[in-house]
A = this chain, B = another copy of it.
Amino acid sequence: MRRKSGALIPLEVSILEASAEVRRSGQAEVHGYELAKVVRDLRHARRLTAYGTLYKALNRLERQGYLASRWEEPQIAADEGRPRRRFYRLTLEGEIALNEARAEARRTSAGRAAAATVE
């Protein structure tokens, strides 16, 4: 797939959506692994087995400035006996991009609906 400059692909929108969702529920940050679950639910059971896909998307979003990340304190992960997590949070730019994507989706579906009616 080649990227239409500046546009977000569906998976990326889902990720931003999930980040916003998580924050709305009172959590400032999410780690990738948990995000995977939320995204999986948002896209209703589309399995997303390949975590590589998600982590690559997270990287892209961070490079674009839509997400910011920080690594968990090593001691905490050690205390809880699990691998270290990397936490992501939605940035202001990310929020704006998400809103634009939503608006765009509305326009498109409206257009599609109109077209469907006309046909």
Contact = CB atoms under 8 A, between A and B. Distances in A.
A84 interface: yes
A74 B78 contact: yes
Contacts of A83: 83-84
Interface size class of A (residues with CB under 8 A): under 10
A77 interface: yes
A4 to B, nearest CB: 33
Contacts of A74: 74-75, 77-78
Contacts of A78: 71, 74, 84
A72 to B, nearest CB: 9
A92 B71 CA distance: 40
Interface of A: 71, 74-75, 77-78, 83-84
10 contacts: A71-B78, A74-B74, A74-B75, A74-B77, A74-B78, A75-B75, A77-B84, A78-B84, A83-B83, A83-B84
Nearest first, the 9 closest Cβ-Cβ pairs linking A and B are A74-B78, A74-B74, A83-B83, A74-B75, A78-B84, A74-B77, A71-B78, A77-B84, A83-B84
